[in-house]
Amino acid sequence: MADRIRRVAVLASGTGSNFRALVENDTSPGEVVLLLSDRNDAGALSIARELGIPHHVLDPGKYRTRFGIAEEEQWAEFLRDQKIDLVCLAGFMRILKGPLIEEFSGRLMNIHPSLLPAFPGLDGQGQAFTYGVKVAGCTVHYVDRGTDTGPVILQKAVPVLPDDTRDTLAARILKKEHAIFSRAVSLHCAGRLRVSGRRVYITPDTQ
Ligand code: GRF
């Protein structure tokens, strides 16, 4: 199972530091072979050019924060044609409605900057900081039809320090995001994640 390269696509709308981490860190037997963005000004596109990763901007439809259904079907078809094994949402600021979730059921991951189920939705780091938690963090999860509700794959806690601002906290969380996202991709691609209900089990490395 772990011998063939698994083709990983990243969907990103913003800066792209998670995308860069997934390209530069060890995600074997997964390999990022494609970046798709819904924004032609996404920083992730410059990183793709720098790193030589094939990249495209596709039309997400007329809405601002979600897909048009026909457009989501086109993205799903594009990814299917590219023989993508795993899709990673890395700062992809658009709510998926159906076709991508169905096409990539169990093969679609998201990184979220909070310890879910706390602080789902926008600005998880800011929500945690404003709430006054002592421990913040990040979560990689499989994507289901809810907002940040799918089965949790990996989480990492990040302490909130007395002199933190929202931005210093977010910067420390981001470093942990890069690490757990890369690890989760590697585990998935090695066939080492088993989902049972809400629980994701990591099976031992038999290599
Ligand atoms: C990350 O904090 C991620 O958790 C959130 O959006 C941010 C994207 O950052 N969903 P980057 O574009 O990967 O630098």
pLDDT tens-digit readout, 63-122: 999 899 999 999 999 999 999 999 999 999 999 989 999 999 999 999 999 999 999 999
Least confident segment among 40-54, 62-76, 176-190: 62-76
Locate the ligand 1 atom nearest the alpha carbon of residue 12 and give its number: 12
Within 10 Å of residue 62's Cβ, how many Cβ atoms?
A: 8
Q: State which amino acid sits at residue 205.
A: D
* Percent of the chain residues past pLDDT 70, beyond the cut: 98
Which pLDDT score is estimated for 99? Answer: 96
**Annotated catalytic residue: which of 55, 56, 112, 141?**
112
Q: Given CA atoms 99, 37, 3, 155 in this order, what sign does their dihedral have?
A: negative
Tell me the pLDDT of the chain averaged across its residues.
Answer: 96
CA dihedral of residues 18, 176, 31, 16 (deg, nearest 10): 10
Q: Considering only residues 154 and 97, tell me which one the structure prediction assigns the higher pLDDT.
A: 154
Catalytic status, residue 141 = no
Which pLDDT score is estimated for 121? Answer: 96
pLDDT tens profile 9-43: 999 999 999 999 999 999 999 999 999 999 999 99
Q: Considering only residues 205 and 76, tell me which one the structure prediction assigns the higher pLDDT.
A: 76
Least confident segment among 1-10, 43-52, 167-176: 1-10
Locate the ligand 1 atom nearest the alpha carbon of residue 18 and give its number: 13
Name the pLDDT band for 205 (thresholds 50, 70, 90): confident
Q: Which secondary-structure segment (H or E) carries 67?
A: none
Within 10 Å of residue 101's Cβ, how many Cβ atoms?
A: 18
0.75 exceeded by the pTM?
Answer: yes
Which pLDDT score is estimated for 2? Answer: 46
How many angstroms separate the Cα of 176 from the Cα of each of 95, 102, 136, 161?
Answer: 24, 29, 11, 16
Nearest to 41 by CA among 10, 16, 22, 69: 16
Ligand 1: residues within 6 Å at CB? 12, 14-18, 90-91, 111-113, 174, 177
